[in-house]
Amino acid sequence: MAKNTFSSEFRNIDVDQYNEDNYKDDDGEPQSPPIGVDEATIVSLMNAGNHADALKLLLANAPVASKGKNEQAKDMALNLVLKVLLSVNKSQMDQIISSLDKTQLDVLMKYIYRGFERPSEGSSAILLIWHEKVYNAGGVGCIVRVLTDRKRV
Amino acid sequence: MSATLRPYLNAVRHTLSAAMCLHNFNSQVVERHNKPEVEVRSSKELLMTAVVVSRNEKEKVLIEPSINSIRISISIKQADDIERILCHKFMRFMMMRAENFIILRRKPVQGYDISFLITNFHTEQMFKHKLVDFVIHFMEEIDKEISEMKLAVNARARECAMEYLKRF
């Protein structure tokens, strides 16, 4: 008996990881990350004053993936979205929001919450106004979908 | 500055109402155990996206929901040293009496000043909208109380100094 249990390494193995029922977050996503929108298009749209289109373009091509995947693309997209969001003034916000559909509202809400994570000079105040307006349009469900969706933006 | 207070509290209120949907859920790891999953963090599928609502760089609220519990961590505005000390002592006072608060956590989450832990048992016994009201009310009152304490400290210090210097 002493021979085959000489090493107690087996005690250090986490047996649970081999369990078939384990939850796997990604479920195989070979989805090629959309290159996203390049900065030049966005900047040109913004300079033309066309914030609504810039935002729609960004929301349509948002790199959503589960936590830990594609972080670089996500960060770049986040910077662009924040740039657009912070440059829109209040009167245009209602117009833009009413032109978005349900899925786009959800993605926008995800970006708003990510924007809260890195507050800068005065950004949170504008994001709070965005949050209020998107909530009025999307309702509690919009926030619930942000919390429960495994695909983070 | 106070123009952001109402929107900030509204945003926190909406987020809390959305996140506070809690079910009873027995532990998947240990049989016959029932643990708040947001504290244990053993299974990824039971945890939801943690979300931050910030008013500015100093004040923010971190909300971490899960299937049977939600953790709310608040970072309070502390403008100078006196406020920092007062805040720290005040929070410590309350956290030592966390039993009586029921939903208070004895230690704040790293990076924040005070934390609440609300489980499905709490939402079963207490009204959800009242719990949310309580947290929002707490956030409003803390700032006022700390300012009042700061004024009291300064007033007392002035009185003491005056009395002492009358001798000279």
Mean pLDDT value of segment A140-147: 94
Q: With pLDDT > 70 as the criterion, what percentage of chain A qualifies?
A: 90
Could you say which residues from 101 to 140 on chain A have a Cβ atom under 8 Å away from some Cβ of chain B? 113, 116-117, 119-120, 124-125, 128-129, 131-132, 135, 140
Distance separating alpha carbons of residues B26 and B23, to the nearest angstrom: 10
Query: Nearest to residue B64, comparing CAs of B19, B131, B8?
Result: B19
Per-residue model confidence (pLDDT) at position A49: 81
Is A100 or A23 the better-scoring residue by pLDDT? A100
ipTM of the complex as predicted: 0.89
Q: Name the residue of chain B whose CA is nearest to A122's CA.
A: B56
Q: Is the pLDDT of residue A81 over 80?
A: yes
Helices and strands in chain B: count of H runs, count of E runs: 6, 4
Amino acid at B20: M
Average pLDDT score, chain B: 94
Query: Chain A contacts of B56, Cβ < 8 Å?
Result: 119, 124-125
State how far residue A144 is from chain B, nearest Cα, in angstroms.
5
CB contact under 8 A, B18 and A124: no
Low-confidence stretches of chain B (pLDDT < 70) are 1
Note the pLDDT tens digit of each residue in A18-36. Answer: 888 777 766 555 554 555 6
Query: Chain B contacts of A113, Cβ < 8 Å?
Result: 51-53
Neighbours of A89 (CB within 10 A): 8
Is A83 or B12 the better-scoring residue by pLDDT? B12
Distance separating alpha carbons of residues A61 and A84, to the nearest angstrom: 15
Per-residue model confidence (pLDDT) at position B44: 87
Q: For residue A74, what pLDDT band results from cuts at 50, 70 and 90?
A: confident
Q: Is the pLDDT of residue A1 over 70?
A: no
Distance separating alpha carbons of residues A109 and B12, to the nearest angstrom: 14
Distance separating alpha carbons of residues A114 and A119, to the nearest angstrom: 10
Per-residue model confidence (pLDDT) at position B106: 96
